[in-house]
Amino acid sequence: MRSASAEPDTGTRARIRDAAVLRFAKSGFGASVRSIAAEAGVSPALVIHHFGSKDELHAACDEHVLAWIVETKRQNMGKAARGQLLEVLAQADDMAPLVGYVLRSLQAGGSVGRTFVEHMIDDAEQYTAEAVADGIVRPSRDERARVRYLVYSSLGALMLSVTMNPPEDPEDVNAAVRAFTDDLYLPMLEMFTEGFLTTRRMLDDYLLYVSDPPGTGGEAEDTDGTAA
Amino acid sequence: MRSASAEPDTGTRARIRDAAVLRFAKSGFGASVRSIAAEAGVSPALVIHHFGSKDELHAACDEHVLAWIVETKRQNMGKAARGQLLEVLAQADDMAPLVGYVLRSLQAGGSVGRTFVEHMIDDAEQYTAEAVADGIVRPSRDERARVRYLVYSSLGALMLSVTMNPPEDPEDVNAAVRAFTDDLYLPMLEMFTEGFLTTRRMLDDYLLYVSDPPGTGGEAEDTDGTAA
DNA sequence: GTCGCGGCTGAACGCGTGTTTAGTGTTGAA
DNA sequence: TTCAACACTAAACACGCGTTCAGCCGCGAC
């Protein structure tokens, strides 16, 4: 039942799907079927006729955007390194609606956003492993946790920035992304290069704490820290 | 017309307002007036009777939560240092709905979220200035930008984490917050203490770039780096 | 008393939603 | 030509929404 390759990317159905992606990116997933139909230049009934329901249309959009993501990644393997995937994606200006769609899905906790984050984490883990091997990046006590922290931080910061300063014309998502990176590239680089704290005390204290938590004595203590 | 102190925090109106805050936190601002009325044990008409419209109810909730924030901050000046405001807020378990409300407002780009971020930035700027003066934190080339980066990163990461792993019972927002910090505290501390990169090259290159951008020669060039 | 008044409600209104239905025009095969 | 399948639409349906309206109840003032 995979319709990914069975159907062409032209024709009315694809036009409706693209209009839906655009409208969802612009107005969120609450956008009405009627507005999507208007954008595609068809009747609302035809939208339902082709996709069955709004939810299935949403799912079709998710699938389409996801396929686009993996394709773009495949073509930009090298450039996408060091977690700059989003910036690479945003460079192709005509792809801006898809970036907006991803951000909407991130915001709504949709499946596209979820798998997008997972992809980014998996990729970043691979890239940082290479960078550590090359001596460019310091090793971590928990590589997976660090990668998750980095992805959540950068993606979350971007998301928050776009939410707080939404572009007037939603076509300009990439402009917003660029403004974000322009603003925060220096402090990020500073943090990455020089760190933030001058003393190791907090880190050492924490390491001591997790390796030998308070209340030691051999009793089976659960991991919940409510008693602390 | 300030109703903050003119009206008591008991009575039907306050009960409706609290129910609305809870409902908004649980289901987002799309929650229906009817569901709020049901939660408060009154008729939908009474909600409108007291607040005029759903938008005005939303505004009243914003005002209430905002007042609660500044009050909590006032009481926890010391503890709230080092950007741990949200954790402090989440400690009082009965206040969980309000934390959820803030997260919803952050997600929706509402006024509460916006001023909350501004407050956090202002506070963090003050705290980091003190910490720099005390020699605990390294100075930055652009303190304001660094503070914005830190707030956006940490808040965005938290937001993303909660969005991707929503608590089953929305009462457990603080549990989700705690799970988030438990997971990512080590990598954050690592990053803050030891940094990420082993070499200064990227930072130095960037600093060289911004102080002497390519295409020098005196012509008035805009700041857009599309040519790069 | 009985009046007024404010808290409060059930029922409805108008609207926008997703979806269905009945029917149009077109196109290609038999 | 005739039939069937197809893309497509106008109109309506059922429903949930925010909101309004008319009126009920209980309580303090006169």
What is the ipTM, given to two decimal places?
A: 0.85
Chain B positions in Cβ-Cβ contact with residue A200 (cut-off 8 Å):
193
Q: Do A197 and B137 touch (CB under 8 A)?
A: yes
- Residue B91, CA distances (Å) to B42, B76, B168, B216 in order: 31, 12, 19, 54
Angle between helix B111-133 and B96-108 (nearest 10)? 100
What letter would DSSP give residue A95?
G
CB atoms within 10 A of CB A219: 6
3-state secondary structure at position B137: strand
Q: Give the CA A1 to C1' C27 distance in Å.
A: 27
pLDDT digits (tens, 9 = 90+) for B10-25: 789 999 999 999 999 9
What does the alpha-carbon distance between residue B127 and residue B80 come to, in Å, rounded to a whole number? Answer: 10
In our burial notation (b when 16+ CB lie closer than 10 A, e otherwise), range A28-56 reads: ebebebeebbebbebeeeebeebbeebee
Rounded Cα distance, A46 and A40, in Å: 10
* B64, amino acid identity: H
What does the pLDDT read at residue B226? 40
What secondary structure does DSSP assign to B67-94, as a single string?
HHHHHHHHHTTTTT-TT-HHHHHHHSGG
Confidence of residue A227 (pLDDT cuts 50, 70, 90): very low
Give the single-character DSSP code of A197: B
Token code pair at residue A108: 């709504």
What's the average model confidence in pLDDT over A16-30? 96
Determine the average pLDDT of the residues in A160-182.
86
Distance, in Å, from the CA atom of A23 to the CA atom of A41, rounded to the nearest integer, reads 13
Tell me the three state secondary structure of residue A6: coil
Does residue A194 sit at the B interface (CB-CB below 8 Å)?
yes
The stretch B34-38 carries a mean pLDDT of 98
Q: Which are the contacts of A120, defined by CB distance < 8 A and separation ≥ 6?
A: A83, A85, A151, A155
Confidence band, pLDDT 50/70/90 cuts, at residue A14 = very high
Query: Tens digit of pLDDT for each residue in B150-206?
Result: 999 999 999 999 999 888 776 788 888 888 988 999 999 999 999 999 999 999 999
Tokens of A38: 């208007």
Average pLDDT over residues B125-138: 93
**For chain A, percent of residues with pLDDT exceeding 70:** 82
Residues of A in Cβ contact (< 8 Å) with B193: 195-197, 199-200, 202-203
User: How far is it, in rounded angstroms, from Cα A183 to Cα A190?
Assistant: 13
Angstrom distance, A12 CA to D6 C1': 13
pLDDT, greater one: B127 or A7: B127
Select from A126, A128, A105 the least CA-distant residue to A117: A105
A chain contacts of residue B208, beta-carbon cutoff 8 Å: none
* Cα-based torsion angle of the residue sequence B55, A173, A123, B184 in order, rounded to the nearest 10 degrees: -40
Task: Tell me if B68 sits within 8 A of B105, measured CB to CB.
Answer: no
Contacts of B35 (CB under 8 A, 6+ apart): B23, B27
Residue B121: count of CB within 10 angstroms of its CB? 18
Q: Can you list the alpha helix ranges (DSSP code H) found in B41-166? A: 44-51, 54-75, 85-91, 96-108, 111-133, 143-164
DSSP code of A40? H
Best mutation target among A142, A150, A197, A205 (most B Cβ atoms within 10 Å) is A197
Q: Give the pLDDT mean for A177-199.
A: 93
Assess whether pLDDT exceeds 50 at residue B220.
no
Q: Mean pLDDT in chain A? A: 86
Q: Which residue has the higher pLDDT, B142 or B86?
A: B142
What is the gyration radius of the CA atoms in chain B, in angstroms?
A: 22
Q: At what angle do helices A143-164 and A111-133 cross, to 10 degrees?
A: 130
pLDDT bucket at A165, cuts 50 / 70 / 90 = confident
Maximum Cα–Cα distance across chain A:
72
CA atoms within 13 A on the CB side of B228: 12
B186 vs A136, A142, A198: nearest CB? A142
Mean of pLDDT over chain B: 85
Handedness of CA A192, B146, B140, B185 (dihedral sign): negative
Q: What is the pLDDT of residues B166-179, one digit of tens each?
A: 887 767 888 888 88
User: Contact A149/A120 with Cβ under 8 angstroms?
Assistant: no
pLDDT over 90, % of chain A: 64
H/E stretch holding B180: helix B173-194
